[in-house]
Amino acid sequence: TFPFESTQPMFFQDDNIQNIATNFITNYLKLWDSNRADLMILYQNESQFSMQLDSAHPHLIEASSTTGTDFGYYLHNSRNLTRVSSIKARQAKLATGQEQIYKSFTQLPKTHHDLINKPEMYSMESFTYAPLNGIMIIIHGSFEETAQPDNLDSLNSSSNSGPRGRYGGGPSKKKVPLSKKSFDRTFLVIPGPNGSMIVASDILTIRPFSSTTPWNKPVQA
Amino acid sequence: MNQQDPTQPIEPFLKDLLASLDAQYASPTQSFPNVEAYATQFASNVKRDCAIIVNGKPIIPTPQEDARLQFQKKWLATPLSSHQLTSFDCHLIPGTGTFIVNFCAKVKFDQSGRNRLGESADLITDNSIGRTVRPIWGSNFGLNVNLVVDESVINNSKGEIISSLNYRFTYIPEDTILKI
């Protein structure tokens, strides 16, 4: 047996943090799915965002799935630092400030997070971050990809990253199949002027979709 | 901008942290003089007053036992583990002297029925098979961990530098015999 207390989907340090964190995540994901430009007021010059891909993450392999998940839209920007060794590349995959962060956002597929209908697919933790009087908000869950990214420039220009070479010139016709993905996302949110909130740090982890999660299963006998 | 990559020392630091969780009480390469020495090396980078959350459940310090000690006692009672780091990313937060680290790992547990000290709860055992002490690894669990780590990790990753530890299973294999 695992001697820690049994899994619980949500952890909040106190009621105040629970209010802030749940409001934040609900509104954030709503805008993330509809209009990411509206999120940019949350980011400032020193804010940081990066995305990492963990294609090796354990997941339930569905009988219906015939092929592995295609991570084509994520691979070129992935800051999985176990797999990126050059200093230049490690720094290039970190977006700092509104402009770079927005560009990163437009390079990710459009999504739908079904937080309203399937809250059991999500789990969260939130607690204080002392140095900046901020809070950490961590969410685990999954989403559906609904459309390809707005900005495909960097995908198409990374001509030597794919197994099949591009053939230079003109828009690429590369189509990556859309699918469900699971994810973990860590926000560091700090208080801004006039009661506003600032996202100081935002780390997104993308991994293969799993329809079961440890927190939505009944406790097994 | 500085030429140094501050994220470089994070990977060995994470691997050391996971190795401390996976350490065996007695193995050909390493053995501990007593249980206390063994237990207190688990995640010894964690501060005594670290905020520790395991699968959404916080560890509440008491006047007698700080959070780290409670974590170590509980970890001592888990079966032997084997973590494998599969990805990580981190941000150095300006003006705070801290990194926020997020990493993913696979972890499997020994299903032989023995605890970390090599003891089994079976009163009558059939030892005719021979005294194999090799672990019988189960399937991989998925794991996502968030850390807040002091910037001093760049120069020295040995001290008490972790001020929050949030350990969350993202996937539990169906064939595991562990009750989580």
Answer yes or no: do B170 and A79 touch at CB < 8 A.
no
pLDDT digits (tens, 9 = 90+) for A104-162: 999 999 999 998 888 889 999 999 998 889 999 999 999 999 999 988 877 666 544 44
How close does chain A come to B33, measured CA to CA in Å?
A: 24
- For B179, the closest of A2, A46, A212 (CB atoms) is A2
The whole-chain average pLDDT of chain B stands at 88
Which residue does chain A place closest to B6, by CA atoms?
A: A87
pLDDT of residue A6: 81
Beta bridge partners of A198: A190
ipTM of the complex: 0.89
pLDDT digits (tens, 9 = 90+) for A16-72: 899 999 999 999 999 999 999 999 999 999 999 999 999 989 988 776 655 667 888
A81 Cβ neighbours under 8 A, 6+ residues apart: A52, A90, B7, B10, B11, B87, B88, B89, B90
Lowest mean pLDDT among A188-202, B59-73, B130-144: B130-144
pLDDT of residue A159: 45
Higher pLDDT, B118 or B52: B52
User: Which of B104, B109, B116 is the mutation pick for testing A, counting most A CBs within 10 A?
Assistant: B104
Token representation of residue A79: 């800051």
pLDDT of residue A165: 45
What CATH class has B9-22+36-117+133-171? alpha beta
pLDDT of residue B124: 62
Chain B residues in contact with A215 (beta carbon < 8 A): 55-56
The C-alpha R_g of chain A, in whole angstroms, comes to 18
How close does chain A come to B169, measured CA to CA in Å?
A: 7
**Sign of the CA dihedral with A13 first, then A16, A17, and A22 last:** positive
Lowest mean pLDDT among A195-199, B118-122, B167-171: B118-122
| Long-range contact pairs involving A190-193 (C-beta distance under 8 Å, separation at least 24) | A190/A129, A190/A132, A190/A133, A190/A134, A191/A133, A191/A134, A192/A44
Which residue does chain B place closest to A122, by CA atoms?
A: B170
How close does chain B come to A73, measured CA to CA in Å?
A: 18
The residue type found at B167 is Y
pLDDT of residue A66: 57
φ/ψ of A54, rounded to 5, equals -120, 85
pLDDT digits (tens, 9 = 90+) for B20-68: 999 998 777 778 888 999 999 999 999 999 999 999 999 999 999 999 9
Q: What b-and-e string marks burial along B4-25, b requiring 16 or more CB atoms within 10 Å of the CB?
A: ebbbebbbebbeebbebbbbbb
Identify the CA nearest to A48 among candidates B11, B153, B90.
B90
Which residue does chain B place closest to A123, by CA atoms?
A: B56
